[in-house]
Amino acid sequence: MARPGAGKLGRNDPCYCGSGRKYKDCHLRQEEEWRSQQLRLRNAQDDLIKRIMNLAINADAGDLQTAFDRYWNGRYRFEQLAELNTWEGYGADRFMTWFAFDYRQADGHTLVSRLAATMDERDLTPLERQLLPNWIDIRLKPYRVERLHPNAGADIRNLLTDEELILADSHASLRLELGEVIVGHLVPVDTPLGRNTPNYYLAGPAAHLTPDTAEPLRTFANIHLVALRRERPQAGWSDLVRERSEIFNHFVLMLPTDKPDPERIERFVAETRQRLLGEEAEQNVEER
């Protein structure tokens, strides 16, 4: 049953579903309820992210330190954390988001998955409880901005799987540029009426990279996937991001901050290939 275009149907017309009732007494009411529920979900998103960040700040110091070294690849010392917002474009906030969503602690849980597992003992609102289970598998990933919708968001493509998502973050979209690559955490939130897929929002800040980084970043990710498959032949993108998503920050960390430097990027990708794949350095990587 297809819903007719918005605005065509009067409140007192028979409902499009064929129930015989007036539209206002049938689907109009359901649609209004849906819309306000989705709006409330969108607001709950902010509170849930704040709650998660608060837990991250108060996490075990040993875990934070281990995670810090992995994420920054030894470039900085943990004592420098506070400076990284300036030195590395929201680096401290990006790290804390990665810690909460991606870093697995000794019991195998991330901070987000543990919060979801203990949801019933916690002081979460019903809407936060609704959002949280869908955030367990969210990890740091690279995306490319495919289309911009001014003041509404953007269509973005997962650089690893080519899957397209709608980033409905109007605030974030003001900072986006067509074709650029963003490396960040995209969380599903509300689902507009008539769509099967949710709108996504940015949890925490993202790193913004120039369009020329898309292809080398894909190649770089491929090299890591081939290396992972030497240990586990069945491994796919989801395994790579679950276990090694910090590599995307290592790529960001290597990029020059002043102007594009394609040779530097090429060299970094070649070194990664040599280091991880050794003698098979010339072999073409199969899966994109």
Compare residues 25 and 46 and give the one whose CB is closer to Zn ion: 25
9 makes contact with Zn ion (CB under 5 A): no
- Least gap, CB of 14 to Zn ion (angstroms): 9
Compare residues 179 and 194 and give the one whose CB is closer to Zn ion: 194
Torsional class of 203: left (φ above 0), alpha (ψ -120 to 50), beta (otherwise)? beta
Residue 185 neighbours by CB under 8 Å, 6+ apart: 97, 98, 101, 138, 139, 140, 141, 202, 203, 204, 206
28 makes contact with Zn ion (CB under 5 A): no
Residue 19 neighbours by CB under 8 Å, 6+ apart: 26
Residue 241 neighbours by CB under 8 Å, 6+ apart: 139, 140, 141, 160
Of 9, 14, 24, 26, the one binding Zn ion by CB under 5 A: 26
- Least gap, CB of 26 to Zn ion (angstroms): 3
* Distance from chain centroid for Cα 83: 24
Compare residues 15 and 276 and give the one whose CB is closer to Zn ion: 15
Residue 142 neighbours by CB under 8 Å, 6+ apart: 158, 159, 160, 181, 182, 183, 214, 217, 221, 248
Compare residues 3 and 232 and give the one whose CB is closer to Zn ion: 3
Compare residues 14 and 89 and give the one whose CB is closer to Zn ion: 14
DSSP structural state of residue 14: B
Of 3, 10, 13, 17, the one binding Zn ion by CB under 5 A: 17
Of 9, 14, 15, 216, the one binding Zn ion by CB under 5 A: 15
Binding region for Zn ion (CB under 5 A) out of 2-10, 26-34, 196-204, 231-239: 26-34
27 makes contact with Zn ion (CB under 5 A): yes
Nearest-angstrom CA–CA distance, 90 and 67: 17
- Least gap, CB of 27 to Zn ion (angstroms): 4
Give the x/- contact pattern for Zn ion in 166-195, rule: CB under 5 A.
Answer: ------------------------------
Compare residues 6 and 82 and give the one whose CB is closer to Zn ion: 6
CA distances from 103 to 100, 158, 205 (A): 6, 21, 17
Return the structure tokens found at 252.
């960001």
- Applying CB under 5 A, which residues contact Zn ion? 15, 17, 19, 26-27
